[in-house]
Amino acid sequence: MSKLTLSEIWIYPIKSLGGIRMTSSKVLPKGLLYDRRWMLIDESGTFITQRLHSKLAFFRLSLTGEEFAISFNKEQIHLRVDAPISTIPVSATIWDDTVEVFEVLGDYSEWFSLRLGVTCRLVYFPETNLRPVDEKYSIENDQVSLADGYPFLIVGQSSLDDLNMRLETPIPMNRFRPNFVFTGGKPYEEDNWRNFTIRESRFIGVKPCGRCLLITVNQETAKRGTEPLATLATYRKTNNKIHFGQNLLALTCHEIYEGDSIQLVS
């Protein structure tokens, strides 16, 4: 059995915008530190993603100290991780969930609205606010941030390599927005992972990740195509869902580092 190594760590601070590759990160019950704690909502309070607004792919983020730099073309705005928020809660909708969020104070909502071409607000989801994962997969009343459904997502590099061998034009891992990428092992073996550790952090695999149109958006051009969804549908479809990657919960939370070994328990 080949050695399993954590090769990449990613966070996506603002839901559906560009990700940031980290050399290390703190594991928290709701997800990695800063991962999907902010998002854009429309005038009705519904979350905004690349599914409808592929232009979001053009917003790129970087992190220096405790400040994000958010770039759009050659324009930039800075957001501190502790940026002040409104004291008045806002009700926001993500899929079937309704959560309580707070608008980030300042010019952020206007800045995003002008560049996206849609009236929207930048909101923040405090760590203490509740959003339970699907009770069918919950272990201990687990919570999630503003991610689609679960706190963490892992994808094997060999899974992407296998998919790319089937595609006319290979695609990068950023189509799938994982938190963890690992090397070693067989294609799609993460589907069957149940208990494993990364350093001192213990994780449990709860559900293969169902995929949608978002993975057809080219993250460089914001153009939408048919791949890789069309190809995945030919061999990765179960119960009308197309799967790629594994959703995770954390049982214990510690710092993790790129290059850490992954130890499978079951």
pLDDT tens, residue by residue, 20-56: 999 999 999 999 999 999 999 999 999 999 999 999 9
Say what the pLDDT of residue 176 is.
98
Distance CA 177, CA 245 (A): 10
Task: Provide the whole-model pTM.
Answer: 0.97
Q: How confident is the model at residue 266 (pLDDT cuts 50, 70, 90)?
A: confident
Contacts of 83 (CB under 8 A, 6+ apart): 104, 105, 106, 108, 124
57 has a pLDDT exceeding 70: yes
Q: How confident is the model at residue 209 (pLDDT cuts 50, 70, 90)?
A: very high
Share of the chain above pLDDT 70, in %: 100
The tokens describing 9, both together, are 């760590």
For tokens 């197309």, the residue is 242
Under a CB-based contact definition with an 8 Å cutoff, are residues 112 and 120 in contact?
yes
CA 30 to chain centre: 12
- ∠ CA(34), CA(36), CA(75), 5° rounding? 85
261 has a pLDDT exceeding 70: yes
Span 158-183, pLDDT tens digits: 999 999 999 999 999 999 999 999 99
Span 214-238, pLDDT tens digits: 999 999 999 999 999 999 999 999 9
Q: What H or E segment, with its residue span, contains residue 112?
A: helix 108-116
Distance CA 230, CA 225 (A): 10
Domain architecture of the chain: domains with CATH: 5-264 (2.40.33.20)
Say what the pLDDT of residue 1 is.
63
Closest to 103 (Cα-Cα) out of 113, 88, 114: 88
Q: How confident is the model at residue 256 (pLDDT cuts 50, 70, 90)?
A: very high
Q: Look over the chain and give the mean of its residue pLDDT values, rounded to a whole number.
A: 97
2 has a pLDDT exceeding 90: no
Q: How confident is the model at residue 196 (pLDDT cuts 50, 70, 90)?
A: very high
